[in-house]
């Protein structure tokens, strides 16, 4: 994600929290106080969002020193240090909550994605996200999915033609809808169609589309659908969507689908637990790291 895009997101977040000052920190520390903040994983997790953490502290004060201690997309164990931040303690205290809000949410998404990805290892399927993201944070959240090992589905309504159930019912059927887009479809965009039944699938296969989404189908029906597609239009990508969870995902992947889209990656990933511990002194070396205490 290009860093100039982070500025507005970070500024809005800081204004929300700091627009009227940090009355506690201002009251306690009238003068600068060199300190170092340690960002520590409190559970096993996949890291995403360090670029936002850095932007938070350096928006507050460009002289803050930020050091990543593990790569974005890296898997870290409980207790591992994710990053450390050195500079005036007052800046660390002011940015702490906003930085963690980004980091815990985005790492939560990357961590949940990784769990799905791990469940389908060895198959040819790919886990992908949806447009069910937090309003205003889509690009960040899709980057977190990517860092977790997933692929990105549409970023917005303009980068793929995707005919869904509401389109179909308003158009009067799957073939009508596909034929309707044919004349107007942009040469640069693929076309995908969602089907809910094998009958709709047969209809779709009479037209030409690049991707077929099997929505909310039981496993046996998915298997039948794939056999039909491989037979009639083997170059078509097959996506499965709807009701995918960690329990069912392996079985779905083994059906031979290409893509499994999971809305929960972005709309329901729980935040992961990460602490931020501040010690006096700048640029402390590794061994002086504190036992990570919980920051609420």
Catalytic residues: 97, 132, 164, 194, 215
How many residues in the chain?
A: 296
As given in the structure block, the two tokens for residue 74 are 């890296």
d(CA 256, CA 201): 16
Q: How far apart are the first and last CA of the chain?
A: 29
DSSP letter for 74, please: -
SS (H, E, C) 104-170: HHHHHHHHHHHHHHHHCCCCCCEEECCCCCCCCCHHHHHHHHHHCCCECCCCCCCCCEEECHHHHHH
Virtual CA dihedral for 61, 67, 73, 76, nearest 10 degrees? -120
18-26 contacts at long range (C-beta below 8 A, 24 or more positions apart):
18/94, 18/98, 22/90, 22/93, 22/94, 24/93, 25/90, 25/93, 25/94, 26/90
Which residue number, 42 or 223, has a Cβ lying nearer to a second copy? 42
Are 163 and 212 within 8 A, CB to CB?
Answer: no
Are 198 and 227 within 8 A, CB to CB?
Answer: no
């Amino acid at each position: 994600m290009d860093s100039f895009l982070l500025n507005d997101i970070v500024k809005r977040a800081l204004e929300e929290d700091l627009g009227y000052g940090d009355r506690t920190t201002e009251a306690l520390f009238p003068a600068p106080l060199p300190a170092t903040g340690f960002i520590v994983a409190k559970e096993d997790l996949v890291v995403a969002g360090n670029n936002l953490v850095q932007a938070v502290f350096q928006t507050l004060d460009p002289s803050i020193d930020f050091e990543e201690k593990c790569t974005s997309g890296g898997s870290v164990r409980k207790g591992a240090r994710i990053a450390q931040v050195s500079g005036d303690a007052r800046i660390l205290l002011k940015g702490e909550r906003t930085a963690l809000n980004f980091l815990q949410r985005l790492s939560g998404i990357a961590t949940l994605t990784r769990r799905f990805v791990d469940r389908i290892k060895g198959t040819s399927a790919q886990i992908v996200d949806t447009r069910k993201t937090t309003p205003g944070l889509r690009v960040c959240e899709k980057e977190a999915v990517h860092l977790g090992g997933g692929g990105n589905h549409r970023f917005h309504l303009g980068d793929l033609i995707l005919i869904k159930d509401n389109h179909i019912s308003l158009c009067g059927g799957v073939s009508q809808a596909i034929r309707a887009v044919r004349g107007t479809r942009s040469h640069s965009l693929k076309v995908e169609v969602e089907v809910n039944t094998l009958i709709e699938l047969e209809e779709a296969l009479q037209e030409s589309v690049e991707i077929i989404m099997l929505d909310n189908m039981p496993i046996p029906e998915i298997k039948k659908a794939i056999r039909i597609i491989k037979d009639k239009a083997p170059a078509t990508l097959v996506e499965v969507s709807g009701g995918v969870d960690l329990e069912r995902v392996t079985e779905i992947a083994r059906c031979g689908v290409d893509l499994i889209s999971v809305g929960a990656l972005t709309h329901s990933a729980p935040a992961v637990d990460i602490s931020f511990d501040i010690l006096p002194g700048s640029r402390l070396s590794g061994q002086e790291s504190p036992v990570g205490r919980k920051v609420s």
